Structure 1
């Protein structure tokens, strides 16, 4: 990974310190710089300079670290770790930290280790660099999108009356991992019937019955990178109301995608889709932003929102996911991942979406 892109934005520093406190508090920038998905790297750090990067890690991660081809320093205990950091930062006055991924306790620990350094928050600069994906990143995101897209037909074939939301969610995750994903990119959402009216619903023991909406929001993680897909089908024969909701969302998504190109404002792309929905009886039922960035995190950065100016640039990857939600009845969301291009977009998710699917 070319770390010079980070320093193009973080010009106030010439050295970054990226710290992983634990397995659950791993900074995605660690993966961004090293491009490794092996190892946990708990309690490890990166010292990133303009002329090179050093991984400071324990013996547990030595093989994974050396496989990156980067400089590696191995510590055996906390005292050893502290001494290595002091040595590597000896001639550095100002250190850039990613405050966005750093806990208060970790920050205080670093202050104790190198109290003579000035720490600056470069989280905005790191995020800016990560927004535009490089070729090797796009390759991984496309594969994550492909894996997620290709499982849908088998999932639909498995739908049976009486099965639970949990069962469908587990089927999705199983198939993605069988097809090459390291796991889901987030907790899979499966919502039957009126549960589909809650955008961030958590699946439960609700049982599938004829006439239900089946909303599935899921994604695959491949070599550290994410995809994010939503499909809504009807189990059985759809009512006219269900068809109207679905076709309105489909039209809104098409309008949003048509507005995407380099230089377009995310606010305007959101409006293109939102105006379609708000011109119908479902006005006000689209209750979230049209889309977000996708990359090392499933919500990598803001993108398509009615509340912020966000100029799109080529090689950003964003979701386009309009929805209609009617409490007590159900909801429809259609979500695809697209790569922004100079003239428009490239849709990289391919799961069936164009016409409402009625699963018999």
Structure 2
């Protein structure tokens, strides 16, 4: 029977699979392998050999590149000989040029279809704690935003004024991100979208922020130390929210709480999504598409969070695989209308194997400040 060795060649900073497999990260590319017979290891440059020796998982060998050669092709060719490998099984994002080189050198390379480590979907208690630490940092960033918004004045044009200047999405995002950096996070793409910009779920926001209009703040910090993410969203109004915004906020909050209550071992993610969507529809908020854009609730209810910000499982109509316990997922319904903006409220939930869902988010909920 052919001996196929699992192989990853990547940087731990960009490959969550490599970070998961090796137990540590390094900015430079390195090699991880598993021969399926109890031998796992990493092949490291002299620059990173010491780090790997200290940080790799206990069952992982740390081998020097010099033992095998200079180029990636030479190293992997000699590694295949040492492991008596008949080929390599690699993730879908394996470098194509390197795969072609190996095949030309007589070493078969096959891309694995689907998740390379399906077990990543189910978090250990240690992983949950790492996610919680990132989530707390995100909450601190959001509370900093609340404080800034409370300190604002309103000018004759309805713009928010802070420290003598117009408060923009960019300034508010900077305050959020700085707070998280102080706590060891790497903020990326923090959303502060005011008014109509909030009707586009991934619009990060730009320009002046205004009173009496919703501001969507979606915050997803990644720990520089562990690589694990947090994810949360709050929508607030500085001043008085219009009636339609208050009704939409109430509908989204109710949908989020309903979705959280339905998370359980054996639950169908598609059904959870549909229940949350139906509750907002029943509250009078229709979903559809016109010549300009989609409106209403037009994205999935949630997604897994771990070493990737978006990973399995999805809470969406496309996923009918029952929850099994051990997942960490967001629950983030939203309503979006170009006429006035958007509302999104997001919490993070851990479904323990014992079927006791736990909300990992401690940030308060309110609309007006």
Contact 1:252 1:277 in 2 (8 A): yes
Q: Which residue of the partner structure matches residue 95 of structure 1?
A: 88
Where has structure 1 moved over 6 Å in runs of 4 or more?
Answer: none
Q: Which residue of the partner structure matches residue 79 of structure 1?
A: 70
Q: Which residue of the partner structure matches residue 252 of structure 2?
A: 249
Deviation at 1:132, TM superposition (A): 0.9
2:198 pairs with 1:196: yes
Gaps of 5+ in 1: 1-11
Q: Which residue of the partner structure matches residue 141 of structure 1?
A: 131
Gaps of 5+ in 2: 153-159, 161-165, 288-295
Deviation digits for residues 131-175 of structure 1 (CA, Å, limit 9, x no counterpart): 111222222111111211233222211123121101111111111
Contact 1:41 1:57 in 2 (8 A): no
2:220 pairs with 1:219: yes
2:326 pairs with 1:315: yes
Contact 2:12 2:18 in 1 (8 A): no
Alignment of 1:1-360 (within 5 A): 15-20=5-10, 26-37=14-25, 39-42=26-29, 44-50=30-36, 51-69=38-56, 70-75=60-65, 79-90=70-81, 91-99=84-92, 101-112=93-104, 115-159=105-149, 160=152, 161=160, 162-181=166-185, 183-184=186-187, 186-204=188-206, 206-222=207-223, 223-284=226-287, 285-341=296-352, 342-353=354-365, 355-356=366-367, 358-359=368-369
Deviation digits for residues 190-220 of structure 1 (CA, Å, limit 9, x no counterpart): 101111110010322x211211211111111
CA distance in 2, matches of 1:148, 1:49: 39
Deviation at 1:308, TM superposition (A): 2.8
CA distance in 1, matches of 2:343, 2:69: 51
Deviation digits for residues 251-305 of structure 1 (CA, Å, limit 9, x no counterpart): 0011111110111111011012111011132121101010111111101124100
| Aligned residues between the structures | 336
Contact 1:141 1:225 in 2 (8 A): yes
TM-score normalised to the size of structure 2? Answer: 0.85
Q: Check 1:136–1:261 CA distance in 2 against 1; reply closer, same or farther (3 A cut).
A: same
